[in-house]
Amino acid sequence: MKKSDIEKLEKQGCVSSDWSLVSIKEGTDLSRIHNVYFNGPVSIGANPEIVNVAGGLCNVRIGDNVKIVNVARIENSPNATYGVGIDIAVLDETGTRPVRIYPGISAQIATMAARIPDYAEGKLFPLITRHILNLPERIEIGDGAEILDCGPITDVMIWPGVKVNGALRLHNGSIVNNADKEGSRTKGQEPNDNQESSITFVGPGVDAENFIIEDAVVSGGCQLKNTYVGQGCVLDKGFTAHDSLFFANCSMENGEACSVLAGPYTVSMHKSSLLIGCHTGFMNAGSGTNMSNHMYKHGPIHWGVLERGVKTSSNSYIMHGSRIGAYSLVMGEHKNHPDSSEFPFSYLFGDPNGYTILVPGAMLKSFGLKRDEEKWPKRDRRLNKGIKINDRITYHTLNPYTVNMILDALDTTDHLLQIPTDSDGYIGYKGMKIKRTSLEKGRRLYELALSKYLDSIQAKEIPEDKKGSGKLSRRWVDLSGQIIPESNFNQVLNSPSIEKMEAALDKAAEDYEVNEKIWLTDRLKDSIDMDALSALKSSELDDLVEKDRNSSLSQIAKENDMLSFI
């Protein structure tokens, strides 16, 4: 720097321990830099506004058009990793199922790491390490970033276009904005002149340590430690999380998450709600939802799975390890480690002793299920933002994964109906109690759902070039939102790099509807009386859903009349 430039900065309240370590782009308007302590190597791009950084700028590169006002200090250690490559102890809180995070990690890769720990340790983590080493180098504060009214920011990389306003403390993390990343648009996506330059925002009162926030909003005094917040997520109103991962479009407020692998559309909006040691997706947690993962023998090693679409009622409680079937409603306290994964679309009631009463298939009659299926795609905050979408999502409630569960439920129902009831009229199964009449009614609902599913995809034509694809594996997998055949899943597992894994997942998503029809033709033929299934009218299920809708609307009307002012 020229001596005259140094003198000008000093007159504006700036101080440096060594001006030779400070570099400012030639031609920059120095009148916009006031009251800054330069405490080590600093480089500044064109057109900055940097005011009131009394604690110092140290070891930081600042891009063009950056605004930094009223910040305690910004400092980076020489070997800072910016939160990239840290291990998050999801599910088992003791850390036996870690997920290693990096910008761009998908829900699918994270799920493989957490749910297949031996595979992660032996193959996936070396691939992730190699992927991280090949990530492009970035400056610490990217072009167009704004950092206003913040406490200390240490070892944090702030991508171009990111806004940080009022954060309390940020340490060892990355705040990622893919909207400004070259070539970031999803394949086939057209540029949108009206798209926002960034959906990434870190707001007032946020205290975060060891984190990555990617195309997401974190605000309202949230406290994060060892946490990844993915695309389209919103964390607000004092939410607290540690050792947790949140993927596409999660909304979390007021409550707490600990060692949670939250797949797409996991929602918790109420105070006194604790999600702990669990894998979720399309979940809605009622007020006061609570879970346990610690039974005081071996520490907090227990964990559970809430399959896609699970809802919990107010003040519900689940003791892990438990596995709750897809699109089920959980009410009351459940202390007997229930496994209802063979009975999707069910009601689970906790009796006064903590036992689980299962009502199979009852959710299939709910018009709320149809409403959910329609609303989720419309509430995707990632769309039209000019970003490459990381997480793949299959929205349909009836899909090969849940239909497989229904077919299993029919087999299990036939078996259980041969078992005598106990003195209370229940049949016991996997930590649950089931009424014989509930099994019989559930069987009918499951058959109607199969008929509905068959009708919904019969019209889909298989392209000529796909007709020779042959049989697919019987089993499908739900990778935190993406439904994928096990055969394709095995191809992903055997891929030699993260990039090829993601490409295989993209291909599976692209081929989903074709693979679904190929699979269904063989799966139903081998598993059920097709003539009997064809004789059913899927419209009967539609009629039950419509009846539930009308009943609910009638009840709401009565309530409104009761509460009316005049």
Arithmetic mean of pLDDT, 374-394: 91
| Residue 196 confidence (pLDDT) above 70 | no
What pLDDT is recorded for position 368?
Answer: 83
| Residue 548 confidence (pLDDT) above 70 | yes
Residue 504, C-beta contacts closer than 8 angstroms, at least 6 positions apart: 488, 491, 492, 495
Residue 312, C-beta contacts closer than 8 angstroms, at least 6 positions apart: 283, 284, 285, 286, 289, 318, 329, 330, 331
| Residue 183 confidence (pLDDT) above 50 | no
| Of the residues 28, 49, 75, the one at which a domain ends | 75
**Do both 412 and 491 map to the same domain?**
yes
**Do both 396 and 457 map to the same domain?**
yes
User: Would you give the DSSP letter of residue 453?
Assistant: H
Verdict on whether the full-model pTM lies above 0.75 = yes
Classify residue 560: in a domain, yes or no: no
E strand residue ranges, 321-361: 323-324, 329-331, 333-334, 347-350, 356-359
Domain residues for the domain of 190 are: 82-242
Percent of the chain with pLDDT over 70: 90
| Residue 140 confidence (pLDDT) above 70 | yes
Determine the residue type at 403: V
Arithmetic mean of pLDDT, 319-336: 94
**Do both 170 and 35 map to the same domain?**
no
Classify residue 163: in a domain, yes or no: yes
Arithmetic mean of pLDDT, 330-356: 94
Arithmetic mean of pLDDT, 17-28: 93
Arithmetic mean of pLDDT, 229-247: 97
**Do both 55 and 12 map to the same domain?**
yes
What pLDDT is recorded for position 300?
Answer: 75
Classify residue 370: in a domain, yes or no: no
**Do both 103 and 185 map to the same domain?**
yes
What pLDDT is recorded for position 525?
Answer: 67
Answer with the residue of higher pLDDT: 394 or 17.
394
| Residue 202 confidence (pLDDT) above 80 | yes
What pLDDT is recorded for position 185?
Answer: 40
**Region class of 27: left (phi > 0), else alpha (psi between -120 and 50), else beta:** left
| Residue 513 confidence (pLDDT) above 60 | yes
| Residue 197 confidence (pLDDT) above 80 | no
What pLDDT is recorded for position 413?
Answer: 96
**Do both 536 and 425 map to the same domain?**
yes
Classify residue 304: in a domain, yes or no: no
Classify residue 488: in a domain, yes or no: yes
pLDDT, tens only, 481-497: 999 999 999 999 999 99
Residue of 67, 94, 235, 240 whose CA lies nearest to 158: 67
Measured distance CA(47)–CA(437) in Å, rounded: 74
Measure the N-to-C terminal CA separation of the chain; round to a whole number of Å. 76
Answer with the residue of higher pLDDT: 313 or 372.
313
| Of the residues 216, 242, 268, the one at which a domain ends | 242
Classify residue 36: in a domain, yes or no: yes
Q: How many independent structural domains does the chain possess?
A: 3
Q: Is the dihedral of CA 114, 119, 125, 130 positive or negative?
A: negative
| Of the residues 55, 75, 95, the one at which a domain ends | 75
Average pLDDT, the chain: 90
**Do both 67 and 203 map to the same domain?**
no
**Do both 400 and 478 map to the same domain?**
yes
Answer with the residue of higher pLDDT: 180 or 281.
281
Write out the two tokens for 100.
């290693």
| Residue 292 confidence (pLDDT) above 60 | yes
**Do both 444 and 492 map to the same domain?**
yes
Answer with the residue of higher pLDDT: 497 or 472.
497
**Do both 488 and 518 map to the same domain?**
yes
Label residue 471 by pLDDT band (50, 70, 90).
low
**Do both 205 and 175 map to the same domain?**
yes
Classify residue 44: in a domain, yes or no: yes
**Do both 222 and 161 map to the same domain?**
yes
Write out the two tokens for 211.
């984190």
What pLDDT is recorded for position 527?
Answer: 64
What pLDDT is recorded for position 259?
Answer: 96
Classify residue 351: in a domain, yes or no: no
Residue of 114, 111, 116, 118 whose CA lies nearest to 89: 114
> Please, are residues 281 and 265 in contact by the beta-carbon 8 Å criterion?
yes
User: In 39-75, which positions are buried (b, 16+ CB within 10 angstroms) versus exposed (e)?
Assistant: bbbbbbbebbebbebebbbbbbbbbbbbbbbebbbbb
The burial of 33, by beta-carbon neighbours within 10 Å (0-12 exposed, 13-18 middle, 19 or more buried), is given as buried
Arithmetic mean of pLDDT, 89-103: 94
What pLDDT is recorded for position 199?
Answer: 85
Measured distance CA(548)–CA(542) in Å, rounded: 10
